[in-house]
Amino acid sequence: MSSDDASHENSVTAAGDDDQNKINTSRRYFLIGATAAVGSVGAVGVAVPFLSYWSPSAKARAMGAPVKIDFSKLSPGEMLSPIQAWRGKPIFIVYRDEAAVASLADQSLDLADPNSDNPEQQPEFAKNPTRSMRPEIGIYVGICTHLGCSPKYVEADNFADSRFGGFFCPCHGSKFDLAGRVGTGYPAPDNLPVPPYRFESDTVVVIGEEGGTA
């Protein structure tokens, strides 16, 4: 082989080696990039559930969030309509006139828990004959304590020995007075619950927060 031929062959070999090196380098960079990308996806996959665990969903926040209710259009003898909800439960707001408020102190009705002795059914401020912060405004969770039906508001003659209204459960016949106290002998074992609440103003109540002034 002549020196020119040898020189040409070496040049071709060197060029081939350079091309191979470039291919290997490109392949190595590709593999490194691909590995990093997969690692990033894996990190995101781990981080998302972790962040979700620490960040409550919008639905969860809504279920526990306080609710403001304006009852300025409510007149004596009425219950607020449409019924507002808190934590997925209906909230009854009734405006009792003076005669109705006075009747709640009457011990002649046969009630299962007239003195609200079950502490789980109302905050401490509602342990009184009207079961409320303001005597004329009654606020109750509108779910019967028997099987979870929603009672109906009755304007008058809810009990045979009273001309005043209250709440009647159409599912199994339980009756409650205007303070949400259940009558004796009905399926419901307890009074209607009183939610925690506070008055933001004379006509706005915040359900889910206790405190404030009457």
Are 135 and 177 in a shared domain? yes
Weakest-pLDDT range from 50-64, 82-96, 189-203: 50-64
Q: What is the DSSP string of 101-162?
A: HHHTT-TTS-BSSTT---GGGS-GGG-STT-SSBTTEEEEE---TTTS--PEEEEE--STT-
Are 163 and 138 in a shared domain? yes
Are 42 and 74 in a shared domain? no
Please indicate, yes or no, whether the overall pTM of this predicted structure exceeds 0.75.
no
> 106 or 190: whose pLDDT is higher?
190
Domain membership flag for residue 214: no
Are 124 and 81 in a shared domain? yes
* pLDDT tens-digit map of 117-172: 999 999 999 999 999 999 999 999 999 999 999 999 999 999 887 889 999 999 99
Are 2 and 75 in a shared domain? no
How many domains is the chain built from?
A: 2
Are 71 and 154 in a shared domain? yes
Is 172 assigned a catalytic role? yes
Could you say which of 12, 30, 55 is where a domain stops? 55
Are 120 and 197 in a shared domain? yes
Cβ atoms of 110 and 89 within 8 Å: the answer is: no
Q: Which of 39, 41, 172, 202 is catalytic?
A: 172
| Residue-number span of the structural domain to which 110 is assigned | 64-207
Domain membership flag for residue 195: yes
* Domain CATH code at residue 189: 2.102.10.10
Are 90 and 152 in a shared domain? yes
- Distance CA(92)–CA(78), nearest Å, equals 10
Which one, of 190, 173, 191, 172, lies nearest residue 181 by Cα? Answer: 191
Are 16 and 121 in a shared domain? no
Are 9 and 95 in a shared domain? no
- Distance CA(59)–CA(73), nearest Å, equals 30
Are 44 and 95 in a shared domain? no
Are 77 and 8 in a shared domain? no
Domain membership flag for residue 165: yes
User: What does each C-alpha distance from 55 to 48, 52, 61, 185, 197 come to in angstroms?
Assistant: 10, 5, 10, 47, 26
